[in-house]
Amino acid sequence: MHAPAFPTIPPEMLLLAYRSGIFPMADGREDAEIFYVEPRRRAILPLDGFRCSHSLAKVLRRERFRVSCNEDFARVIAACAEPRPDHPETWISRRIEASYRALHLAGHAHSIEVWDGEALVGGLYGVGFDRVFCGESMFSRADSASKVALAWLVAAMKAARMELLDCQFMTEHLASLGAVEIGQDQYVERLARAQTVGGVGLGDGDGAGEGAGAGAALGVPDGFALLVGAGASSPGKLIAQDLTHTS
């Protein structure tokens, strides 16, 4: 007999958690319980501080991979939940996975996919609202694939006039790409600022929202579309140029 299915976390509850500076985790893939985390030290990646190495810039310019946004959210989060040699157990439980898939359908969770032909070789996913993107997890099955996904995310956020890229916990990989640690109190201050324009709340949508006022962010998918449009036949060259000039 199968174990009973546990209810997903309502999208509005997930958004409230992120807007408050906390996020859910679980102890294992089959764990039905979740807990909310508020780290004492928070990793963020300043959008103008992304470190684009010469080798990564070359991969971007040559467009070794095809990159997409929200093309296969379900496969990205499933890949992120797979066990890894250094992390045999995952915090992305089946309940959390189902909850973020529902949040994606509601328009507030997004994925960046990296393709080598028809194969999904890397990607990331997270939660977007106002001028904020909270990165949840990334994976890589090919050299530089996760770095390419993150580079496209940073470029898309810059194109959309977003402000805060939350990476939650610091890792050596993130530090090598320019992530820094700040106190949770500093993070909450930045989070509050990124949810306002001139002191006016931006609303609940990932986009500007009605009545948000001039300067409101467009959202990651919109920024991605702007990159593809502005880059014409070679958006990778445009991204490499922008990131190497600002890092």
pLDDT tens digits, 230-246: 766 789 999 999 998 76
Q: pLDDT value at position 207?
A: 44
Q: Is residue 57 part of a domain?
A: yes
Least Cα distance to 31 among 103, 106, 96 occurs for 96
Residue 27 one-letter amino acid? D
Query: Which residues make Cβ contacts (< 8 Å) with residue 88, sequence separation at least 6?
Result: none
Residue 228 lies in a domain: yes
Q: What is the pLDDT of residues 24-59, one digit of tens each?
A: 999 999 999 999 999 999 999 999 999 999 999 999
**Residue 6 within any structural domain of the chain:** no
Would you say residue 23 has pLDDT above 80? yes
Looking at the structure of the chain, the number of domains it has is: 1
CA distances to 28, 157, 182, 183 from 186, rounded to whole Å, are: 30, 21, 6, 5
Average pLDDT for 157-183: 96
Q: Are the C-beta atoms of residues 108 and 129 closer than 8 Å to each other? A: yes
Residue 200, pLDDT score = 39
CATH code of the domain covering residue 64: 3.40.630.70
Average pLDDT over residues 57-76: 97
Distance CA 77, CA 101 (A): 8
Evaluate whether residue 4 is within a structural domain. no
> Is residue 208 predicted with pLDDT exceeding 60?
no
Q: Taking the model in full, what pTM does it have?
A: 0.89
Any domain includes 5:
no
The answer to whether residue 1 sits within a structural domain is: no
**Does 143 map to a domain?**
yes
In terms of residue numbers, what domain contains 110? 11-246
Residue 3 lies in a domain: no
